[in-house]
Amino acid sequence: MNCLECGLSSPPRLKEIKTQSVTEGEKLVLKCEVVSDQPGLKFKWFKEDKEIGGKNKAESKPVNIKIRKKKKSSELHITSASDADAGEYKCTVSNQLGNDSMRVNVTITPRKKIYFIFFI
């Protein structure tokens, strides 16, 4: 089957993902979205160039990370972000005509600690 028969006219292109910063313990959502809707899109997420939820899903995806695929996007949800979640993330998308990728840096700001001092 050629790509004209499958309804594809061009490789997928991703919208830019801006650098993200979140306070420790908060939720973070990274959204990887194509510019136009196309059939047969396959998304993958990477952290520091290691696939998240790859072949050995039990070992490669932390419990605080969920990946949700929608019609023309994929979202990486980090619940209760910690310092271990900081770093460079990459989203890739592909179809029969090609692929595209986008990188984003995630920083985790330490939660401010409040100390109480009691005098007796």
Read off the amino acid at residue 47: K
Predicted local distance difference test score (pLDDT) of residue 58: 45
Cα pseudo-dihedral 54, 56, 57, 59, rounded to 10: -120
**Taking residues 94-114, what's their average pLDDT?**
92
Report the predicted TM-score, pTM, of the whole model to 2 decimal places: 0.80
Under DSSP, is residue 30 helix (H, G, I), strand (E, B) or coil? strand
The tally of CA atoms less than 13 A away on the side-chain side of residue 118 is 1
Predicted local distance difference test score (pLDDT) of residue 5: 52
Read off the amino acid at residue 70: K
Q: Are strands 20-23 and 98-109 parallel, antiparallel or unpaired?
A: parallel
CB 90 within 8 A of CB 103: yes
The answer, yes or no, to whether residue 96 has pLDDT greater than 80, is yes
Structural domains in the chain?
20-109 (2.60.40.10)
Q: What is the pLDDT of residues 22-74, one digit of tens each?
A: 999 999 999 999 998 788 899 999 999 999 986 655 455 678 999 999 889 99
Read off the amino acid at residue 10: S
Predicted local distance difference test score (pLDDT) of residue 7: 57
